[in-house]
Each structure stands twice: as C-alpha cells, then as structure tokens.
C-alpha cells in the first residue's frame, strides 16, 4: 500500500499490466524515451523495450488505426493521445473501426484496446490543451468511456480497461494528476466498467459529477453541510458509457433535488443524458428542476481566464441553493 | 557549397511479364504450380461471373449496392495466390476476387450485399478482415497486424488493398510512414483502376506514378501491370520475401482498370467514355491468362465453356441458399448483437423494450 | 413557384447563391462532372466552371481545411462531405479551426463556410452511409448546425447558411431527398438559423423532431388525432445549434406532455439536450415524464434491418400514448 | 516488357550559400538591399532576445508555456523577407522570428503567452494567421488561401511553416496533394529542426530527406541549409516566383536546429545530448550572418552590442506594457466574445447569468 498521486497510480496500472501480460503494448507520441509529456509512461521503455513501448511519429490517425491492427491480432494496445484536443485526428478510426469491428465481423474479432488521454482545463496550458469533449466518445455505440476521479479508482479503472475485450476510452483529468495522493493497494485491483460510486452520502440533495470536477463538487457539498446544514449525496459517475443511472436515479428518488456538475460545454454535454435518465427513472420524485453547472458554450478560454470557464465551488453552491429553494 | 543533387534510396520500376497476346517473358515468370494456376484462373472467372450475377440481382432489386471487381481479378487473385493462408488479408470494398481466393463463400457475399451483416461472418481461425468502406481507413490496420505478427515472432505478414483514390487520404500517408519506421512486414497493394468514382487518376494526383509516393517513406515501391497475373504474383512474392526476411514494407501499384460501374449506385456515362472501356477490354486480365493457358494447352475453349457452366451453377446454388437464409433471418433483434462482448444494462433494456414492442404490435 | 423535391430545392439554393455571389465556391468529391452522388450539384460545373466547382481528391481533411483557407480569404465555400459517415476524417479541422478562427483572431477572420452532407438511414445503403451523429457537430461552440425537413425550408436554410458569417454544418436528410415535393418560391427566400417552427398545432401533446423523422412524427400525430382524438403540436427544430428552446418549451408548458423523436443513437443523443432545456424552462408544467423515441445504442444495422433501427410510427405512437396515460 | 525504370518529374537538391565562417558563394547569393539585410539581422536578434526573456519570465511564473524559436531565426526571417507583406503567412506555433518580421508587436506575443487571447489580435488589413497548435493542421489553410488569391486574380501567394514532425500527419499529405492538383500558389516551408519533442528526425521518417516527400505529389522540392539566411531567402524567392507565375507549389525543407527546449514544459535532458546542441551552436544562424556582415563592414562588435542593448530596452518596454495591460484585462466575460458574429440567445443568457453570478459574489 503506497500513497500515490493519480499520475503514479496510472503508471502503476500500466506497469503491472505490462508485467502480467506480454500482450500489453504501450504506444504514443513521446511515451518512450521521454516517458510521456505527463510522465505517465516513465520507465516503461527501459523495462519493456522498444518493441513494447513505441515512440510514434506525430500521426494520430495511424496511432489509433495501428492500435486497432494490434488489437485485431489479439494484443492489448494502450495508446496515448498526447492531449484529448488532438484525438480528433484519430476519431474516425475509433468511430468507424474500433467501435465496429466486433459487430462487423459478427464477433470474430474484438478490439481490446485502450485509448487514454489527458483532458480538461486548469493546468495553464496552451489552446487545445484544455478540452473536455467526452460526449464525442460517449455517444458512439461500441466504445466504452471512463473518467477516473482519484488515484485509486484511476488505477483500478485502467486495469479493467486494459483487460476489457472492447475498446475503452479513458479520459484522465490532468488537472488532478498530481493534486493529491491516496492509498493505492500494491496488489491488483480492478473496478467494473460502467459502475458509478457514491462519493459522499446525504439525504437532502443529489450532486452528480466526475473527473476533475468531483473535488469541487465534494468541496461544495462540505460547505453546504457546514453553512446550510444540508446533507448532499455526491455520485461519482466514473463511467460515462455505459452510464450507470441506477445509482443516481435512486439517489434522486430519495432527495428529489439534483445538481449535475461537469466542465464540458453545456449544450449537448453529458448533463443532458443524465437529465434524460433522471426523467425516465425518477421523474415523479423530482421536487425541483434539475440544475446543471457546466463549462460554457464558448471555446475554452486561454489560461488567464480558464478558471472563469470552469465550474467553481461558488457556481456549484449557487445552483445547489437554487435547487434547494425551488 | 552550391546546389547539389541528393541521392535517393530508391527508384521506381515498372514490371510486366504477360503481354496482351498471352506471351510471357520466360526470364521473369514466377514458378506457379499448374494446379494452382488453374485455380487462379477459376477464381478470377468465378469472380467475374459473380459480379455479373450480382449486377443483375441488384438491378432486379434483390440485393443492394455493391462495388464490382470486374477487370481487377488479376491484381487481386495474383496477389493473394502469392501469399499464405496464415497471412493477413485486409481488404477495402472491391476485393471480391481476393475474397473468393481466400475461401469466402459466394453465398456470404450475396448475403452481405443483400444487407445482412451475417454475410460478413468470418470463421474463427481465419486471418481475413471484413470489408472496410471508409476509403484508406483499413491501411493502418494492416500495419498493426503485421507489427503484431512480428512481435509474436510469427512468420505471418499482412497485405492491404486500396485504390488510386485512397492514396490521397491521410490514412494512407500515416500508415506508410508507420510501416516504414517500424519495419512492419506489410504489403501495400494499390489497385490503380484509373478512377475514384468520377475522378480520373490523372486528377487524383499530379505524380506520374502512384508508386513513387512510396519514395517519401523510403519504401521500396514498384509499378506492375495489374492485368498481368504473373507480374502481380511475382511482385507480391518478392515483397513477401522481403517482409518475411525482416526488411519491412513494400508498395505495389497495380495498373488496372475498373471495367464496370463504381458501385451499382453509379452511372459512369456521366463522366467517362465508352471508348476508354473498350480499350481496356483488350487488356482484360482473364482473357490474357486464358490465351497463355490455351497456348500452354492447359485450357481450351471447351474447357472454359464447361467451367463457366459449372461456375454459373455454383452461383445459382449460392443464391438459392442465400435466398433461403434471408427467409430465415427475420429477427430484427439481431441488430443488438455484437456491439459489445457483454451488452451493458441499458442496451439490454433497449433490446427488451423493443422485443416487447414487437410482441404487442405482432 | 415550382414543385420541387428536396434535392432540387437544395440545388436551387446553390445555383442562386452562386449566381448572386461569385465568392461562392462549391467543392467536394464528385461534385463536378458527376454532379454529386445524389446529383445535388448537377449542372453547376457547366455553368460556373472548374475554378468554382471543384472536384476534389478523396481527402476529407484537406477538403475541410482547404475550405477554411478559402473562407479566411473571404470566399464562401460550400463543401460537400459525400456522406456524414465520412466527415469524421475532416472533423478535427471543424473543431480546431472552423469553429475557432474568429475567436482565435479576435474577430479579424471569420469562416463563412458551409459543410453540407447527407445523413441518416433509410436508403438501403452500405455501412457508414446511414449515420445520424449530429451531436458531434452540435456540441462544438463556434459551429452552427441545421437540419431541414422539407424542400422549401431546405432551400431557405441553405441560402441562410451560405450567407451566414460563421461556419454552418448542414445535415441533409437523404432519405427524403426525393420523397415528396413542395412549392418552392422562385424568388429568394431565407430562414433565420436557430429558429424552429411549429409543423402542426395542437394542445394535448407536444412532439419534437427534425429532419427525416419529422414526416413519421407528423404521421403519428395525424393518427393520434384520428384514432385517439388527441391533438398534437409538432415542433420541427430545423436548427440543432443554436437550439431554439423557446418554442418547444412554450408548447410543453401548454400541453405538459412531450415526446422527442430522432434517429440518432439514444445515449448522449440530441434528446438529452432537449430534455435538459425542457427541465430548465418548463419543469413545473410537465405532467408526465418526457419520452424519447430514438435510434438504439447499436451500430446502425445493415440495410435489411435499418427500418427496425429507425423510429417508426408504431414506436412513436407507443411513446405518445404512454406519455398521455402517464 | 521486363522491369524498366520509371523517370520521375523531379529530383531533390540541396542548397547552401553562406558557410559557417561567414563566407558566401557569390554566384548564388540573392540580391538583398543593405538596409533590408540589416533589418533581417535585427529581427533575428530581436527574436533571440525575446526568446531568452520569455524563458526567464516563464521560469518566474509570469507567462505560460511557449515554444522558443531559438536557432531557427534564419529559416523564418529569411523566408518572410523574400515575400511581400500582402502574401499570406500561415504559421504553426514556433514562428516568433517570422511574426516579428511581419510586424507583430513583442507586447502582443508576451500577452498571448501570458494566457490572453487578446495577444493574438490581428489588424484588419493584415494577412497573418494566428498561431496554430495542432501539428500540421494549418497546412491546408494555406492551400485554400493561395487558391482563393488565385481565384481573385490577386498576385498574393501563401507560405506555411511546419516542422519535421508535421510531415508525418495526414494533413500534410492531403494538403500537398491538393496544392499540386489545384496548382495553388503556396510555399510549404518545413523547418526540420531535428526534433519533434523527444522524437529525433531519424525516427520520424526513414526517408533520407523530408524534401523528397514532395516527389509523391510532383511538387518541386529542395533542401536548404536552414541556418543560412541567404539560402533560405533564395529558395523562397525562387518558389515565390514560380508561384506567382502560376506554376504552383514548392516544398522547401530547411535543415535547422531547435537550440532550446521544445516548449517550456519540456526537459530535453531526458532525450538528447548536450553535445549535439554544442555542435549546432557552431552553426548558429545569427553568428553566421554576423560574421558575413562584419566581413562586409556592415556591422561591428560595437554596433552589435549597441543593438542588443536597444533590443533589450525594447523588450523591457514591451513587458512593462504587457504587464500594465494584464492589470486591465480583468473582465472574465471576454471569454464569451467572438464565438460567433452574433451570439445566439442561449449564449447571451449564459453570459448574463454569469455576469449576475459575479455581481452577487462580488
Ligand atoms: C473516407 C471516405 N470518403 C469518401 C468515400 C466515398 N467513396 C467511396 S469509394 C470512393 C472512391 C474510391 O476510389 P479508389 O480509392 O480509387 O477505389 P475504387 O473505388 O476505385 O476501388 C469514394 C470517394 C468513402 N467511402 N470513404
Ligand atoms: C495534432 C497534434 N498532435 C500532437 C501535438 C503535440 N505536439 C506539439 S508539438 C509536437 C511535435 C511537433 O514536432 P515538429 O512538427 O517537428 O515541430 P517543432 O515542435 O519541432 O517545431 C507535438 C507532438 C499537437 N500539438 N498536435
Ligand atoms: Mg480507383
Ligand atoms: Mg521539429
């Protein structure tokens, strides 16, 4: 058991899975000698050699398409997109092939690949380095898409993603790669994909979030408890696809009041689907309109203003108090 | 210090062995077993007949849109015959003849073209990929497969087929570069059939050959007469040897011709001259091979006639089978199959709800 | 005034705009000599020559990126993607540049381009030719995205899209390109982007749809009137982004019961956003859970089963009656 | 009938004019006005000083990540100086020196690197594009701009800059093909600075030169010594003439070196030898030009010293201005600007709600 930050927890998952299974191949731009621009793959090249840790040319389409080829052969590629904002270059390979080859071949082939990438704002980066467009992947049948929120679940989800027989997109909240530490068991640990968790219990209000925004949501929840005496249940989605609505719908049935928090753009963002499921599963229990606290329908501003774009504790509190008073 | 010429690693050559009168260059002709050669001929002819039949069936509304391989049989069968069944076959969408060589049943092709995913079923031990429709998108898969085979220290290599139009796509470019830097044992087989729907080869790229695109990646590249089954066989054989020896990829441009429509949704009279088609009919790859085989007394007009009858019967039976199978494939719930190894709860719920709905309607 | 089908109505828009403005350039695969695989651009090459009607190599990234270059210069490219299922190859150019260059240059540049493409199932086509992933574009700030439903509005929206100073994605419902005719005025007609319309009036139930599914929705509405004596208001969105929620929220406030119909996949599909807006704008008026009738979270099946995938009148009626009885 | 060589349309040449001792090949040296040459030198030096200052500011946490142009000043300024201000300049993200030549204010660059979109402001009549970060994605824009200029019968042409890594992207490939088939008046200027973050040029592509990638498109392509401002100028001048004459695109590979970090977020010690950097320091493009100018008595150590002081002051002032401007740019609502020409109602509503929220918090 060691106290690890999320970056190191993901590295632990990669290392252990490479150790367990020589079919696991890590590839991406600068993942080898450099150890990845966020140092997630550091040390892997020395340990496993350049046949298994592939420093690739700058070519995302080929990276994804090549990974699909590895997976068709039965290997387990873990392919890094340097930033989610550059993953669109490989998007058609995910949509047209990774998601469909099992279906297209009537089950002859499966694509046990992981496409992992840092996403989200908050690290003072350049344009295109702060995106949060998880919906683009979550909407595609045949793909799974998960977003961890703490070191421990990041490690467990990554292991599960690698072992999953289907393509899994992992969005890694780069803003909290090194924000805090958590005990992570040395021994192997997995988490079923498509399962959310209750990050905080409470009976007055339900808040739903995931990824980097979970911390802010929890902070708001604590503040609500302190200042307003309101007990908030916080659901951490962990998986956007499949989306586990059972847990949050149940919580909503219990509290009748819901706030959803994400940094993705508002329109056609993940909150829409969550709200749809809530309507379908818990409509008659809702006592107030569900509110969503999201990134705006603007381009993510350059870093001097990125915090204004991101949901913050104040905006979450605003929405929560609004919902409570509705 | 002034301008100096840079010496390149490779140059582009053109290979042709069988001329249009059926004469071969004996120095260059690859060794092919007589039986194998007859099998090659049979497959090419089967593909041609199947194309014709499918065109008919499509015009009758019995099957949907498909892309005829007509005219490209030598490029396809010649290439596949030079490889092992364990090698990986990564087609685009026009590889009927190659698929037939690999043992894919005409009935499956018919079923697929009738709009049933079941027609794409692939046996567990097969190394064939299903049809890939987005132009050039399959090319990187072949590179990955080839690399994986190398990683597993297998002797398998991969071949991927694509058209002249595909060479304009980014996928082509990125995949060739990957193959080159990773020395993947893969063969890039471009069927330059002179057209990409309505776009003639000459306007697809300004470069004199498509083969020369390989130079940008330092990939040995050559042009071959794609209607000459021997030239294609020889080129692929050489490329396969290079790949198996660990010397990486090869790019082969087969100069061939799309003798039919782009797909059955297409009307070539809008953009091309019948004269051009006629000119290429003289270079028909099947006729050329038949001339050779007849000269070698391995085939006769009578034998060809008998063979054609046999193939027609084979296709009759295949279509009957297909027709029967279609009758049985009435369950729309199949559409929920194989999206994931394990369908997630929400997808199962959708399936159940739809099942319920059908029951109530029914 | 002529009776035109949608294909010809769009052709009329293109022709008139090319005639009006020599900055309008049409480009795409097979749009010239061949007149486009759906014959939408037929005749344009003969009339306007190959500098203005560009038959392009098979290269969607370049098609979109090149169009952006034309737009940067001040021209008005109308770029065709042969099918929406092949537009992902050019998606990164839309996300990273078309949507952002105005913003990135602080207003110095604008991108008055149209990216038009046939979408949707129902024409017995091959794989990848039946997609309906409008969300991928509707979610991107900086883009507009419209979907016509009849010949007349297709023509008017296309003209508006061409004249709009911002990039507009037009999804053309190929299933109804030639399904029916409508009077289309010879004289110029436009429709503001971002404005929905009431396709049918009614006070008992609200149905929201767009594109090819609108016809089925209207059919279901008629059947409901006949068989159940229920009067349905049908809102035709026309524009997914910006999304005009005023009209449908108002209708929902009036009827209290809503069904949404689209052929896009269900999860993270457009209905989610519509439901979110309904919650935000008309929650207290809702008398029953909103229902959505959508394509399933499967890959669009090959054509023998595509009608099973698509919402049909039966499924719409089912949902409508469900909502009415809730 | 056997294998025959195919003759290609083009070959690759290497051009160099100024050697590392400041000696030039008088037959090849382009005619450049003395004042212009001093202006070139000044801009290169300004870029170098600005880079150094920005590195310092970044290390102090005053500005954010940026990509230094250090070592590539000749490739950038040499190229832009050979063009007209009306020509279209389509940069990637490392073109500080080129931007300075185009008249972009150091204060704007500082503001941009401090995280303010306002720093990317471009005057209405300018033909400069803003920084483009996704590798190679700007290349097709230049082709479109060039085509549009031709369509409007303007004399303008376009130039786009990109790196060695960019040549692996599909965007590069598709754009070059488009330019070639459409004969667009565009110059593709590849700054091969030997590294793409941690990936050395030798592993980015197996081809001996990047210039030879142009052969696949039948685009005249050449390699030049990118640390030789005369060679770059001459090559771009020639390419511009060809473009303006209606003869289409040219690809130029400038052999140069990234003397600094990839970006300030990067640590090159993880992947490259200091020795390599030292070797290239001897080929520093600014020193080479200074040697030449000193030999021609157009410059002296004293003049250089004075110039450097002046440039430092210019940068001091720019940073003071920037600092002041940052103080003023406190309104976060700016983030809602310029998403559309007219903000749609829902976006306006979001802006208002946020404004309201800020008021209540405030
Ligand atoms: C990415 C993509 N863009 C467009 C299409 C539509 N399309 C189908 S085939 C074709 C032309 C392909 O030409 P070529 O590569 O020469 O192959 P051929 O059809 O001649 O066999 C086009 C544009 C597609 N299938 N995929
Ligand atoms: C499409 C895309 N993929 C990845 C990145 C991350 N990235 C930024 S610069 C760079 C390397 C670029 O190398 P090169 O083209 O040689 O340009 P240089 O940095 O040397 O100027 C990479 C991979 C990016 N910006 N865009
Ligand atoms: Mg072709
Ligand atoms: Mg570089």
Listing DSSP states for A78-121 in one string gives EEEPSSGGG-GGGHHHIIIIITTHHHHTTTS-----EEEEEE-S
For residue D248, what is the nearest residue in chain B, using CA coordinates?
A: B206
- A chain contacts of residue D335, beta-carbon cutoff 8 Å: 296, 298, 301, 305, 308-309
Whether D171 contacts chain C with CB within 8 A: yes
Interatomic CA distance for residues C211 and C150, integer angstroms: 8
Judged by CB atoms closer than 8 Å, whether chains meet at C302 and B204 is answered as no
For residues D18-27, average pLDDT: 94
Which of D135, D167, D168 for a ligand 2 pocket mutation test, highest count of atoms within 8 Å of Cβ? D135
B121 in contact with C at a CB cutoff of 8 Å? Answer: no
d(CA B193, CA B198): 12
Q: Is residue D302 part of a domain?
A: yes
Same domain, B192 and B340: no
Residues of C in contact with A267 (CB under 8 A): 138-139, 141, 241, 243, 273
**Helices in C81-203 by DSSP H: which ranges?**
91-93, 101-104, 135-138, 151-163
Regarding whether D56 and D77 lie in a shared domain, the answer is yes
Per-residue pLDDT for C295 more than 90? Answer: yes
Ligand 1 in contact with C126 (CB < 6 A)?
no
**Rounded distance between C-alpha atoms, residue D117 and residue C254, angstroms:** 44
> Which of C56, C75, C105 minimises the CB distance to D130?
C105
Give the H/E segment covering residue B256: none
CB contact under 8 A, A70 and B145: yes
The continuous run of DSSP H or E covering A170 comes out as strand A168-173
Supply the pLDDT for residue C163.
98
pLDDT digits (tens, 9 = 90+) for C194-219: 999 999 999 999 999 999 999 999 99
Do B309 and B347 share a structural domain? no
**H-type alpha helices, chain A:** 6-20, 44-48, 60-73, 91-93, 101-104, 135-138, 151-163, 213-223, 245-255, 270-282, 306-309, 313-325
Q: Answer whether residue B346 is part of any domain.
A: yes
Amino acid B2: pLDDT: 60
In chain C, domain spans: 2-184, 197-325
In a domain, D4, yes or no: no
Question: D326 and D179, same structural domain?
Answer: yes
**pLDDT tens digits, residue range D44-79?**
999 999 999 999 999 999 999 999 999 999 999 999
Give yes or no for a contact between A79 and A27, defined as CB atoms under 8 angstroms apart: yes
Whether D221 and D79 map to the same domain: the answer is yes
- D179 neighbors D213 (Cβ within 8 angstroms): no
Subunits close to A (at least 3 CB pairs below 8 A): B, C, D
The response to whether residue D134 sits with its C-beta less than 6 Å from ligand 2 reads yes
Atom of ligand 2 nearest to the CA of D72: 21
Taking CB atoms and an 8 Å limit, are B223 and D6 in contact across chains? Answer: yes
Mean per-residue pLDDT, B2-16: 88
Q: Provide the pLDDT for residue D4.
A: 86
DSSP D187: E
Task: Kindly tell me the sign of the dihedral angle through the C-alpha atoms of D108, D114, D116, D120.
Answer: positive
B137 to chain D, any CB pair closer than 8 A? The answer is no
Closest-CA residue, ligand 1 atom 12, reads B196
Ligand nearest to the CA of B162: 1
Q: Say yes or no: B278 and B362 in one domain.
A: no
Any domain includes D129 = yes
- The residue segments making up the domain with residue B297 are 13-330
Say if residue D26 is exposed, middle or buried (CB neighbours under 10 Å; 0-12, 13-18, 19+).
Answer: exposed
Judge if the upstream peptide bond of residue C63 is cis by omega within 30 degrees of 0. Answer: no
| Residues B100-126: tens digit of each pLDDT | 999 999 999 999 999 999 999 999 999
**What pLDDT band is residue D2 in, cutting at 50, 70 and 90?**
low
Chain C hits for B329, CB-CB cut-off 8 Å, are 304
Confidence check: pLDDT of D171 > 80: yes
Residue B1: band (very low, low, confident or very high) from pLDDT cuts 50, 70, 90:
very low
> Considering its fold, how many domains does chain B have in total?
2
pLDDT of residue D9: 84
Q: How confident is the model at residue C58 (pLDDT cuts 50, 70, 90)?
A: very high
In sequence order, which residues have a C-beta less than 8 Å from that of residue C308 and are 6 or more positions away? B332, B335, B354, C301
Point out the ligand nearest to the CA of residue D163.
2
Contact status, residue C276 vs residue C307, Cβ threshold 8 Å: no
Number of CB atoms found within 10 A of residue C273's CB:
27
D257 alpha carbon – ligand 2 mean position (Å):
15
Per-residue pLDDT for C1 more than 90?
no
D-interface mutation test, from B5, B6, B214, most D Cβ less than 10 A away: B6
pLDDT of D1 above 50: no
Looking at the domain assignment, is residue D6 inside a domain?
no
D1:B11 CB<8 A: no
Residue range D203-233, pLDDT digits in tens: 999 999 999 999 999 999 999 999 999 999 9
- Among D79, D55, D49, smallest CA distance to D67 is for D55
- Pick from B145, B152, B347: which is nearest to A69 by CB? B145
Dist CA A260 CA C279 (whole Å):
13
Specify whether the CB–CB gap between D82 and D98 falls below 8 A.
Answer: no
Q: What is the pLDDT of residue B3?
A: 79
Topology (CATH) of A2-184: Rossmann fold (3.40.50)
D14 touches chain B (CB under 8 A): yes
Bridge partner residues of D158 (DSSP): D88, D186
- The reply to whether domains A2-184 and A197-325 share a CATH topology is yes
Burial class (CB in 10 A: 0-12, 13-18, 19+), D94: buried
Q: Which residues contact D67 (CB under 8 A, 6 or more apart)?
A: D93, D94, D262, D263
**Opening angle at CA C93, ends C87 and C94, nearest 5:** 70
| pLDDT for res B59 | 96
Q: Please, what are the averages of pLDDT over each run of 10 residues along chain A (326 residues)?
A: 95 98 98 97 98 98 98 98 98 98 97 98 97 98 98 98 98 98 96 98 98 98 98 98 98 98 98 98 98 98 97 97 96
List, in sequence order, every beta strand (DSSP E) within B197-337. 199-200, 221-225, 250-255
Q: How far lies C169's CA from each of C115, C135, C151, D286, in Å?
A: 5, 11, 17, 48
Contacts of A243 in chain B (CB under 8 A): 346
Q: Are residues B309 and B205 in the same domain?
A: yes
Residue D3: inside a domain, yes or no? no
Contact indicator for D321, D313 with CB cutoff of 8 Å? no
Three state DSSP letters for A254-287 = HHCCEEEEEEEECCCCHHHHHHHHHHHHHHHHCC
CA distance C71 to chain A (A): 20
State if residue D253 touches ligand 2 by the CB under 6 angstroms criterion: no
Determine the distance in angstroms separating the CA of A128 from the nearest CA of chain C, rounded to an integer. Answer: 8
pLDDT at A123: 96
Confidence grade of residue B8 (pLDDT, cut at 50, 70, 90) = confident
* C128: annotated active-site residue: no
Residue B52 has pLDDT above 90, yes or no: yes
Do residues B270 and B359 share a domain? no
Average pLDDT, chain D: 96
pLDDT value, residue A213: 98
CA-A89 nearest atom, ligand 2: 1
Tell me if D185 is assigned to some domain. Answer: yes
Report yes or no: D70 and D259 within 8 Å, Cβ to Cβ: yes
> What is the whole-number distance in angstroms between the Cα of residue B105 and the centre of ligand 3?
25
DSSP three-state, residue D69: coil
Mutate to test the pocket of ligand 1, among B67, B131, B165 (most ligand atoms within 8 A of CB): B165
Q: Tell me how far apart the alpha carbons of residues B28 and A247 are, in angstroms, rounded to a whole number.
A: 71
Residues D285 and D349 in one domain: no
Distance D165 CA to ligand 4 centre (A): 5
Cβ of A242 within 8 Å of Cβ of B139? The answer is: no
B54 and B125 belong to one structural domain: yes
Rounded (10°) CA dihedral A135, A138, A141, A144:
160
Q: Are A215 and A200 in contact (CB under 8 A)?
A: no
Q: What are phi and psi of D60, to 5 degrees?
A: -85, 0
B114 and B49 in a single domain? The answer is yes
Residue B362: is its pLDDT beyond 70? no
Residues 6+ apart with CB under 8 A from B31: none
Q: How far is D262 from chain B (nearest CA, A)?
A: 22
Same domain, D265 and D348: no
Mapping DSSP onto H, E and C, the string for D80-97 reads: HHCCCCCCEEECCCCCHH
The answer as to CATH 3.40.50.920 being correct for domain C197-325 is yes
Residue B141 pLDDT exceeds 50: yes
**Is ipTM > 0.95 here?**
yes
Task: Tell if the CB–CB gap between B15 and D2 is shorter than 8 Å.
Answer: yes
CB A65 within 8 A of CB A38: no
Closest CA to B91 of B81, B103, B106, B76: B76
Please report all neighbours of C, defined by 3+ CB atom pairs within 8 A. Answer: A, B, D
Ligand 4 mean position, distance from CA D70 (Å): 12
Residue A90's closest CA among A56, A112, A64? A64
Does residue A89's CB lie within 6 angstroms of at least one atom of ligand 2? yes
> pLDDT tens digit string along B248-276?
999 999 999 999 999 999 999 999 999 99
List the beta strands (DSSP E) in chain D: 4-5, 13-15, 88-90, 158-163, 186-192, 195-196, 199-200, 221-225, 250-255
**Cα-to-centroid distance, D273 and ligand 2 (Å):** 20
Pairing mode of beta strands C24-28, B199-200: unpaired
Where would I find the beta strands (DSSP E) of chain B? Answer: 4-5, 13-15, 88-90, 158-163, 186-192, 195-196, 199-200, 221-225, 250-255
């Amino acid at each position: 058991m060691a106290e690890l930050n999320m970056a190191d927890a993901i590295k632990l998952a990669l290392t252990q899975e490479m150790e367990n299974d020589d079919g696991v191949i890590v590839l991406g731009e600068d993942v080898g000698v450099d150890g990845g621009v966020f140092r997630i793959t550091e040390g892997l090249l020395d340990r496993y050699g350049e046949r298994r840790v592939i420093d690739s040319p700058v070519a995302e389409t080929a990276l994804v398409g090549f990974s699909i080829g590895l997976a068709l052969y039965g290997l387990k590629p873990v392919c890094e997109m340097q930033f989610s904002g550059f993953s669109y270059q490989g998007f058609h390979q995910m949509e047209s092939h990774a998601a469909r080859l099992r279906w297209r071949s009537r089950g002859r082939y499966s694509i046990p690949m992981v496409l992992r990438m840092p996403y989200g704002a908050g690290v003072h980066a350049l344009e295109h380095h702060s995106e949060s467009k998880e919906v683009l992947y979550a909407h595609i049948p045949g793909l799974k898409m998960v977003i961890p929120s703490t070191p421990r679940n990041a490690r467990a989800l990554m292991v599960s993603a690698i072992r999953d027989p289907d393509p899994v997109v992992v969005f890694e909240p780069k803003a909290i790669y090194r924000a805090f530490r958590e005990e992570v068991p040395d021994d192997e640990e997995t988490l079923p994909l498509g399962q959310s968790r209750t990050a905080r219990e409470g009976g007055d209000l339900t808040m739903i979030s995931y990824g980097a925004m979970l911390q802010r949501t929890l902070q708001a929840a604590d503040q609500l408890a302190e200042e307003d005496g309101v007990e908030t249940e916080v659901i951490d989605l962990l998986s956007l696809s499949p989306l586990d609505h059972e847990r949050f719908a149940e919580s909503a049935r219990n509290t009748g009041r819901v706030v959803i928090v994400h940094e993705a753009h508002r329109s056609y963002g993940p909150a829409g689907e969550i709200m749809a499921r809530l309507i379908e599963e818990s409509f008659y229990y809702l006592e107030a309109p569900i509110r969503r606290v999201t990134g705006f329908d603007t381009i993510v501003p350059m870093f001097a203003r990125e915090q204004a774009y991101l949901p913050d504790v104040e905006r979450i509190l605003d929405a929560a108090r609004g919902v409570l008073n509705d | 210090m002034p301008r100096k010429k840079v010496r390149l690693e490779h140059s582009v050559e053109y290979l042709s062995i069988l001329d249009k009168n059926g004469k071969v260059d004996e120095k260059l002709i690859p060794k092919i077993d007589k039986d194998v050669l007859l099998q090659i001929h049979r497959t090419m002819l089967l593909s041609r007949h199947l194309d014709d039949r499918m065109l008919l069936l499509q015009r009758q509304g019995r099957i949907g849109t498909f892309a005829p391989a007509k005219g490209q049989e030598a490029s396809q069968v010649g290439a596949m015959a030079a490889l092992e069944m364990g090698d990986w076959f990564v087609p685009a969408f026009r590889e009927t003849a190659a698929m037939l060589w690999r043992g894919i049943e005409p009935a499956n092709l018919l079923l697929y073209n009738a709009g049933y995913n079941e027609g794409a079923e692939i046996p567990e031990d097969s190394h064939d990929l299903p049809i890939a429709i987005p132009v050039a998108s399959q090319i990187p898969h072949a590179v990955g497969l080839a690399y994986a085979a190398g990683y597993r220290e297998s002797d398998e290599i991969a071949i991927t087929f694509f058209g002249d139009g595909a060479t304009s796509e980014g996928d082509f470019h990125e995949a060739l570069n990957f193959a080159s830097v990773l020395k993947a044992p893969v063969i890039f087989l471009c069927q330059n059939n002179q057209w990409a729907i309505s776009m003639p080869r000459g306007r697809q790229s300004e470069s004199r050959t498509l083969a020369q695109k390989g130079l940008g990646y330092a990939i040995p590249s050559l042009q071959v007469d794609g209607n000459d089954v021997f030239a294609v066989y020889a080129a692929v054989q050489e490329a396969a040897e290079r790949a198996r020896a660990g010397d990486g990829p090869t790019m082969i441009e087969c100069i061939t011709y799309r003798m039919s429509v782009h797909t059955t949704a297409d009307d070539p009279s809008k953009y091309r001259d019948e004269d051009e088609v006629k000119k290429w009919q003289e270079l028909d790859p099947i006729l050329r091979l038949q001339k050779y085989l007849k000269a070698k007394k391995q085939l006769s007009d009578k034998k060809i006639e008998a063979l054609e009858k046999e193939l027609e019967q084979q296709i009759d039976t295949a279509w009957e089978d297909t027709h029967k199978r279609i009758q049985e494939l009435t369950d729309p719930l199949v559409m929920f199959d194989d999206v994931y190894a394990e369908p997630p709860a929400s997808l199962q719920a959708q399936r159940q709800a739809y099942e319920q709905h059908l029951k109530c309607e029914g």
